[in-house]
Amino acid sequence: MQLSRTRALRGPNLWTRSTAIETIVRCEDSEQRYSTIPGFEEKLRARFPNIAPLQPHGADQALSLAHVLEVAALSLQAQAGCPVTFSRTHVTTEPGTYQVVVEYTEEAVGKLAMEKAEALIQATLSDSPFDADAAIAALRELDEDERIGPSTGAIVDAAVARGIPFRRLTTGSLVQLGWGSKARRFQAAEIDSTSAVAESIAQDKDLTKRLLHAAGVPVPMGRPVADVDEAWEVALEVGLPVVVKPQDGNQGKGVVVNITTREGLDAAYKTASEFGDEIMVERFLPGHDFRLLVVGGQLVAAARREPPQVLGDGQHTIRELVNLVNQDPRRGTGHGTALTKIRLDDIAISRIASEGMTPDSVPGQGQRVVLRNNANLSTGGSATDVTDDVHPEIAARAIEAAQTIGLHICGVDVVCETMLKPLEEQSGGIVEVNAAPGLRMHLAPSFGKPRHVGVPMVDEMFTAGNDGRIPLVAVTGTNGKTTTTRVIAHLFTSHGWRTAMTNTDGVYVNGRQIDSGDCSGPRSARNALAHPETDAAVLECARGGILREGLGFDRCQVAVVTNVGEGDHLGLNFITTKEDVGVLKRVIVQNVAPSGYAVLNAADPLVAAMAHVCPGKVIFFAADRHHPVMATHRAQGSRVVYVDGDSIVAAEGSWRESIALREIPITRNGAITFQVENVMASIGAAWASGLPWQTIRRGLAGFVNDSDNAPGRFNVMDYRGATIIADYGHNPDAIRALIQAVEAMPANKRSVVISGAGDRRDEDIRVQTEMLGEAFDDVILYQDAAQRGRADGEVIALLRQGLQGASRTSYVTDIHGEFIAIDHALERLQPGDLCLVLVDQVEEALEHLQRHVAQAAAQA
| pLDDT (0 to 100) of residue 805 | 87
Cα 610 to Cα 858: distance, rounded to the nearest angstrom:
52
- 319, part of any domain: no
- 167, part of any domain: no
Q: What are the pLDDT digits (tens) for 278-327?
A: 999 999 998 999 999 999 999 999 999 998 889 999 999 999 999 999 99
CATH number at residue 651: 3.40.1190.10
pLDDT band at 539 (very low <50, low <70, confident <90, very high): very high
| pLDDT (0 to 100) of residue 709 | 78
- 466, part of any domain: no
Same-domain status, 635 and 520: yes
Per cent of the chain over pLDDT 90 is: 76
| pLDDT (0 to 100) of residue 201 | 95
Q: How far is CA 195 from the centre of its chain?
A: 27
Q: How far is CA 284 from CA 228, 232, 260, 354, 614, in A?
A: 17, 14, 10, 18, 64
Least reliable range by pLDDT among 393-397, 407-411, 544-548: 544-548
Q: Are strands 834-838 and 750-754 parallel, antiparallel or unpaired?
A: parallel
Same-domain status, 690 and 750: no
β-sheet bridge partners, residue 654: none
Long-range pairs for 570-577: beta carbons < 8 A, 24 or more residues apart: 570/760, 570/761, 570/764, 571/760, 571/761, 572/759, 573/547, 574/92, 574/93, 574/94, 574/99, 575/543, 575/547, 576/93
pLDDT band at 76 (very low <50, low <70, confident <90, very high): very high
For 853, phi and psi rounded to 5 degrees?
Answer: -60, -45
Q: What does 158-209 look like in DSSP terms, one character per residue?
A: HHHHTT--EEE-SSSSEEEES-GGG-EEEETTEETTS-HHHHHHHH-HHHHH
Question: Among candidates 139, 440, 146, which has minimal Cα distance to 301?
Answer: 440
Cα 673 to Cα 677: distance, rounded to the nearest angstrom:
6
pLDDT band at 760 (very low <50, low <70, confident <90, very high): confident
Q: What are the pLDDT digits (tens) for 125-149?
A: 999 999 999 999 999 999 999 999 8
Same-domain status, 661 and 765: no
Q: What does 604-626 look like in DSSP terms, one character per residue?
A: SHHHHGGGGG-SSEEEEEES-TT
| pLDDT (0 to 100) of residue 570 | 55
Residue 571 above 70 pLDDT?
no
Same-domain status, 94 and 116: yes
What is the mean predicted confidence (pLDDT) over 776-800? 83
Same-domain status, 780 and 803: yes
Same-domain status, 662 and 804: no
Q: How far is CA 764 from the centre of its chain?
A: 36
Residue 48 above 80 pLDDT?
yes
- 197, part of any domain: no
| pLDDT (0 to 100) of residue 335 | 59
Same-domain status, 137 and 8: yes
Cα 61 to Cα 621: distance, rounded to the nearest angstrom:
43
| pLDDT (0 to 100) of residue 784 | 72
Q: Are strands 2-9 and 20-26 parallel, antiparallel or unpaired?
A: antiparallel
Dihedral, CA of residue 57, residue 59, residue 63 and residue 66, to nearest 10 = 60
Same-domain status, 730 and 693: no
State the burial class of residue 466 (Cβ atoms within 10 Å of its Cβ: 0-12, 13-18, 19+). Answer: middle
What is the mean predicted confidence (pLDDT) over 584-591? 96
Q: What are the pLDDT digits (tens) for 408-445?
A: 999 999 999 999 999 999 989 999 999 999 899 999 99
Q: How many C-alpha atoms does 677 have within 13 Å on its Cβ side?
A: 22
Question: Among candidates 118, 140, 144, which has minimal Cα distance to 48?
Answer: 118
- Residue 597 makes CB contacts below 8 A (sequence gap 6+) with 557, 558, 559, 616, 617, 618, 619, 639, 684, 688
Position 278, amino acid: E
Three-state DSSP state, 581: helix
Q: What are the pLDDT digits (tens) for 768-781?
A: 899 999 999 999 99
- 630, part of any domain: yes
pLDDT band at 253 (very low <50, low <70, confident <90, very high): confident
Find out whether 252 and 379 touch, Cβ atoms under 8 Å: yes
- Residue 852 makes CB contacts below 8 A (sequence gap 6+) with 719, 822, 823, 826
Domain tally, the chain = 4
Three-state DSSP state, 323: helix
- 679, part of any domain: yes
What's the order of all strands across the beta sheet hosting 174-177?
Answer: 166-168, 174-177, 184-187, 190-191
Question: Among candidates 373, 343, 348, 367, which has minimal Cα distance to 358?
Answer: 348
| pLDDT (0 to 100) of residue 333 | 75
Q: Are strands 536-540 and 472-476 parallel, antiparallel or unpaired?
A: parallel
Same-domain status, 685 and 763: no
pLDDT band at 374 (very low <50, low <70, confident <90, very high): confident
Same-domain status, 478 and 553: yes
Residue 522 above 80 pLDDT?
yes
Q: Print the domain residue range for 637.
A: 472-701
Position 797, amino acid: A
The residue out of 250, 283, 316 marking a domain boundary is: 283
Per cent of the chain over pLDDT 70 is: 96
Q: What are the pLDDT digits (tens) for 636-679?
A: 999 999 999 999 999 999 999 999 999 999 999 999 999 999 99
Angle at 475 between CA 474 and CA 480, to 5 degrees: 165
The residue out of 677, 701, 725 marking a domain boundary is: 701
β-sheet bridge partners, residue 601: 621
Residue 568 above 60 pLDDT?
no
Three-state DSSP state, 386: coil
What is the mean predicted confidence (pLDDT) over 828-849? 93
| pLDDT (0 to 100) of residue 787 | 65
The residue out of 671, 701, 731 marking a domain boundary is: 701
State the burial class of residue 859 (Cβ atoms within 10 Å of its Cβ: 0-12, 13-18, 19+). Answer: exposed
- 481, part of any domain: yes
| pLDDT (0 to 100) of residue 365 | 93
State the burial class of residue 349 (Cβ atoms within 10 Å of its Cβ: 0-12, 13-18, 19+). Answer: middle
Residue 843 above 90 pLDDT?
no
pTM of the model as a whole: 0.86
| pLDDT (0 to 100) of residue 57 | 53
| pLDDT (0 to 100) of residue 599 | 98
What is the mean predicted confidence (pLDDT) over 6-16? 96
| pLDDT (0 to 100) of residue 423 | 96
- As a residue count, the chain comes to 860
- 171, part of any domain: no
| pLDDT (0 to 100) of residue 588 | 98
| pLDDT (0 to 100) of residue 572 | 59
Find out whether 530 and 185 touch, Cβ atoms under 8 Å: no
CATH number at residue 250: 3.30.1490.20
Same-domain status, 765 and 691: no
Cα 24 to Cα 294: distance, rounded to the nearest angstrom:
51
Same-domain status, 778 and 809: yes
What is the mean predicted confidence (pLDDT) over 156-171? 96
| pLDDT (0 to 100) of residue 251 | 63
| pLDDT (0 to 100) of residue 756 | 79
| pLDDT (0 to 100) of residue 56 | 63
- Residue 38 makes CB contacts below 8 A (sequence gap 6+) with none
| Mean pLDDT across the chain | 92
Pick the more confident residue, 373 or 394. Answer: 394
pLDDT band at 785 (very low <50, low <70, confident <90, very high): low
